[in-house]
Amino acid sequence: MESDQTTTNEIMEFLQEHMVTKQELKEELKNMVTKQELKEELQKLRLDFLDSLDEKISTLKGDLTVMMRGEDKKLVALIDLLKHK
């Protein structure tokens, strides 16, 4: 009958395979982003998004203005036509 309990040797083998040294941990921590760096990056992304949104809104406003002027010209032409009739 096999035991479901883990032996000390199995635990030690597992630890040897998966253990992280202090130096390895320090190296990994160096690669991590700091809270301040993350905040700065998020702020930059937010500003980029807002700039892009402002640009899209300005383009839309310009397109609408051009369309309205075209409609105004058509309306003025229609009014002139009706005046002459």
Q: Which domain holds residue 20?
A: 8-84
Q: 8-66, pLDDT tens digit by residue?
A: 999 999 999 999 999 999 999 999 999 999 999 999 999 999 999 999 999 999 999 99
| Residue 37 domain flag | yes
HSE-up of residue 16 (Cα within 13 Å, Cβ side): 6
CA-to-CA distance for 2 and 10, rounded, in angstroms?
15
Q: Which ranges of 1-85 would DSSP assign to H, the alpha helix?
A: 8-18, 22-31, 35-84
Global confidence as pTM: 0.52
The structural domain count of the chain equals: 1
| Residue 31 domain flag | yes
| Residue 79 domain flag | yes
Residue 1 has pLDDT above 80, yes or no: no
| Residue 2 domain flag | no
pLDDT of amino acid 3: 65
Residue 2 has pLDDT above 70, yes or no: no
